[in-house]
Amino acid sequence: MTPLQQYVVIACLLVGAMGLALTLLLLARAVGKTRQEPGKDVPFAGGTLSPEPVWVRYHVRYYGVALLFLAFDMEMAFMYPWAVVYRELGLPALLDMGVFLSVLFLGILYGWSEGALRRQ
């Protein structure tokens, strides 16, 4: 398969996915008409009205937890393709993944030293 044919396949998949999403959106609007009710726009938690404002600010300590989650998430996103080509590339691929994991491990150690892993 030539590179041009690969781009055509990807373009067809994108057009098909957008067409399916648009079709489902139009079908949902045609079948399920919405009614305006006074209680629909009121935020609630567990069936009761929330005593706090809807837009609350989160404490800065949660951003560290979010960054650690992103580090683990990126680790998994890069390990799957690496596992596919590991057998072909051999030792250089293993060393590259070792460097990548050591950098992530240093980030986790830094987060641990700053107290991002402590229970609040």
50 in a structural domain: no
Instruction: Tell me the per-residue pLDDT of 100-112, one tens digit each, with 9 for 90 and over.
Output: 889 888 888 887 8
Domain identity same for 83 and 118: yes
CA end-to-end distance (rounded Å), the chain:
54
Contact partners, residue 89, CB within 8 Å, separation at least 6: none
| Residue numbers of the domain that contains 101 | 55-120
Query: Do 67 and 15 belong to one domain?
Result: no
What are the tens digits of pLDDT across the range 70-82? Answer: 878 878 888 888 8
Over residues 34-85, the pLDDT tens digits come to 777 766 666 666 666 666 666 767 777 777 778 788 878 878 888 888 888 8
Do 28 and 78 fall within a single domain? no
The total number of structural domains in the chain stands at 2
Same domain, 30 and 59: no
